[in-house]
Structure 1
């Protein structure tokens, strides 16, 4: 359906038992096939569902789940109990299952056939208590899962499954995710750093350092004709002043050099199989680049903007957690229309109930969230090792609802913090030519910003117009990390109480382990 998901599949396993005879098993199998076909034909699920049969014994369950673990295309398992399926037969399979699990509580028939229902029908259609039996053993075994309750043909039910599928795809993608850091953390910042070993253990992705001396090897291999071609793409895809196309001007030179930097970064990432990267604007190669040519003559902001739009994870100033999270946001966002971006809390606008936060960065905001066609511009940037004219895309974001998220390292656990936000119309910034968004954190500035700070949230976050709290709750459930949601239902008192309760829970959990 969507390129990002075409190599993935979700397995569907139906629970039953042989108590009711072979004819019942045949009917269960037929109903299950019809349900899977209906789900796939609904047009709502981004990942294909594959029916893997009816499980009637402990051995059958364990065999199917072992196969799921070993099949790379399988990114998750959906279970449903058509009849009463004794839960002890699921124990060994659940003990070995390493893929995300969704428990679907549904029924093949929509309504009770009041006039014709007999004991045979009752024996066959026992989801009402079969799913409770299965739910009990999952809860007793403390197994993480998503529970979807509703009729399988209902669009709402299918949409909940679709959300989970997208999260499973992002999770699968992160299990072989490599993030390259071009430069280290900057200026002793705490919140953008953390335990890379723990992150790989918990969330799957690997973070490596790539010295700029190695980047220069790729830089020197970039061909001028390839740079020329990319510059022409820039001029075709983005609004710009005509004088930028004058090859004798400093502006053209900066655009050309920005294109060479993009081609360099692409070459490094493609060669190493990386899905994301971080930059450091104090580490761009030789400080005397104008004389030696051994480095980038500007921060690679334009490259970062364009590469984010294509799915590369990005984090500024060495923020590897944001780079990895943005890649996952982009994967979940595939096929949806709103767009997503890495963003930073830039400055505040106090205006009563309309008090808001300007979101931007020096340059690196993804054009997927632009309200109109971006403009390619060149302006002086007076920060970092390269205080010089710098190419960038300038735009403002769409008006609408969205959600932003970040992951922080709390020492004994990772914490996912999520905030629903309302993007509003910004005012012009004639002297600040950057890409930007302006939003009011829900439920309002005071509570939203306050709770984010109470939770230890970062000044960087990963934003999407399309994702919802449900996506992030599913992500945290699969990853087994703490999840804090800030939305219109949040109050400061309740949120602080949740923080205290969570602290006790995770301290006790660590002690018991």
Structure 2
């Protein structure tokens, strides 16, 4: 998902006053806007709106952006433009916005005349426009930079990815198969508040729908999935044909339900599957491959974690569901794992990903096919969403690295050891004080800055520990 470029509109603001003073200025500055778009071609696909001189122009261009299903809007002051002409527009706008505080020429020279002053006077237009957005209480990002500098492209790229993720998040539907785990408090959320404040919608799917779906899967699709797994993974010879077919049917049936009902993320709670009475085993391997295909996932009915994994896909690519299992003080790290679900795209590249038959007492069902791998060593980032009550949400983020630690042969599920950049003690003190829940999304690489921009655009409190 993160490999697809964001689609961003450029809203260039000027005013008709300068057309009389400097003939041709609108065309000149429109060319400047197109030059900016060309300069940023590697970080996003751009739609440059016609220069905006008044309220009607601005509303017309913004309608074009909305109708084109763009991910966000980059505001560029082509000259000074009075903010009252766009104040209502930004009050009603729901697309993520970034105010690019830039100008055509990076430095003032003795050769400048009044025309040069006018071409480059966007700074006070940016102040007027930013003031209007602050008064409207609308979140937005700001980038002050020389537009030709690599740093500008880097920062715009980060904002554009966050805009794409936030825009997708606002229309996300999360399907919970059955119900959430009883008495698990940190995964609970007011569904209406989540929908109103951030956008993700939670729906519930009867386990019976999944059971009927498994019976409707054609044999050729089952055979195709098993053949694909044989080619890509190291298959445990202890797995029987019946176990693999059962797993394949559940995976295909889950994905069909997600597609048919428009769910971009989901959760299956082991008790809801086990207590149904018709299933032979849990769909653990299904969760791993569906995550690798770009679906969000959260265990035990955790819709917020599923939404976060989806956001991790959209923002950074290859979101991975995990949780903190235990602290290892000698290595200053935390053992990360879960019951068996994990995105195998974050696996080490020097070891095969295995599909194994494993013993699992949880769920009181037969042995589930499970992907086994170790996390890839290197930089990594954890993030989780905290519901603070009402429409208040917090994102807790920790950067660190996955260690090249020794194997743990008895663990039959995805795992790795994460060393926080701030150290286990400081990280966990901060995590707990912030109310960070026990399910997280992990992405390889250091991405706290990306999550920070995501929070700014979504209206979420950001805490890094």
- The TM-score range, normalised by the shorter chain, is over 0.9
The whole-number CA distance in structure 2 between the counterparts of 1:167 and 1:331 is: 8
In the alignment, which residue of structure 1 is the partner of 2:208? 213
The whole-number CA distance in structure 2 between the counterparts of 1:404 and 1:149 is: 29
In the alignment, which residue of structure 1 is the partner of 2:69? 73
In the alignment, which of 106, 127, 133 is matched to residue 102 of structure 2?
106
Task: Give the CA deviation at 1:402.
Answer: 1.7
In the alignment, which residue of structure 1 is the partner of 2:129? 134
> Structure 2 length normalisation: TM-score?
0.93
Contact 1:65 1:94 in 2 (8 A): no
Cα distance change on mapping 1:58 and 1:224 into 2, 3 Å: closer
Contact 1:404 1:418 in 2 (8 A): yes
The whole-number CA distance in structure 2 between the counterparts of 1:171 and 1:415 is: 15
In the alignment, which of 412, 437, 455 is matched to residue 416 of structure 2?
437
Structure 1, 422-431 or 55-64: larger mean CA deviation: 55-64
Correspondence list, 1:411-426, <5 A: 411-412=389-390, 413-426=392-405
> Structure 1 length normalisation: TM-score?
0.85
In the alignment, which residue of structure 1 is the partner of 2:49? 52
Correspondence list, 1:115-126, <5 A: 115-126=110-121
Cα distance change on mapping 1:217 and 1:240 into 2, 3 Å: closer
For residues 228-267 of structure 1, what are the alpha-carbon distances to aligned partners after superposition, in whole Å with 9 as ceiling and x for unaligned?
22112111110234x35xxxxx544322321121112112
The whole-number CA distance in structure 1 between the counterparts of 2:224 and 2:51 is: 56
Contact 1:213 1:285 in 2 (8 A): no
In the alignment, which residue of structure 1 is the partner of 2:35? 34
Q: Secondary structure of the residue that 1:83 maps to in structure 2?
A: coil
| Alignment pair present for 1:162 and 2:152 | no
In the alignment, which residue of structure 1 is the partner of 2:252? 263
The whole-number CA distance in structure 2 between the counterparts of 1:450 and 1:440 is: 14
Task: Give the CA deviation at 1:431.
Answer: 1.3
| Alignment pair present for 1:457 and 2:436 | yes
The whole-number CA distance in structure 2 between the counterparts of 1:390 and 1:92 is: 56
> Between Structure 1 and Structure 2, how many residues are aligned?
459
- 5+ residue gaps, structure 1, are 245-249, 289-293, 487-513
The whole-number CA distance in structure 2 between the counterparts of 1:467 and 1:210 is: 35
The whole-number CA distance in structure 1 between the counterparts of 2:204 and 2:133 is: 40
Contact 1:183 1:283 in 2 (8 A): yes
Contact 1:76 1:100 in 2 (8 A): yes
Runs of 4+ residues deviating >6 angstroms: none
Contact 1:281 1:385 in 2 (8 A): no
Q: Secondary structure of the residue that 2:386 maps to in structure 1?
A: strand
Task: Give the CA deviation at 1:285.
Answer: 5.7
In the alignment, which residue of structure 2 is the partner of 1:407? 385
Task: Give the CA deviation at 1:467.
Answer: 5.7
Task: Give the CA deviation at 1:19.
Answer: 2.3
Structure 1, 120-129 or 183-192: larger mean CA deviation: 120-129
In the alignment, which residue of structure 1 is the partner of 2:360? 381
The whole-number CA distance in structure 1 between the counterparts of 2:68 and 2:338 is: 37
Task: Give the CA deviation at 1:174.
Answer: 2.0
Cα distance change on mapping 1:15 and 1:452 into 2, 3 Å: same
Root mean square deviation of aligned Cα: 2.0
| Alignment pair present for 1:276 and 2:265 | yes
The whole-number CA distance in structure 1 between the counterparts of 2:396 and 2:442 is: 12
Contact 1:66 1:96 in 2 (8 A): no
Task: Give the CA deviation at 1:408.
Answer: 1.5
Contact 1:239 1:374 in 2 (8 A): yes
Cα distance change on mapping 1:286 and 1:121 into 2, 3 Å: closer
Task: Give the CA deviation at 1:362.
Answer: 0.9
In the alignment, which of 10, 13, 29 is matched to residue 11 of structure 2?
13
Q: Secondary structure of the residue that 2:40 maps to in structure 1?
A: helix
Contact 1:39 1:153 in 2 (8 A): no
Task: Give the CA deviation at 1:474.
Answer: 1.7
In the alignment, which residue of structure 1 is the partner of 2:286? 303
The whole-number CA distance in structure 2 between the counterparts of 1:469 and 1:56 is: 38
The whole-number CA distance in structure 2 between the counterparts of 1:12 and 1:198 is: 32
Task: Give the CA deviation at 1:72.
Answer: 4.7
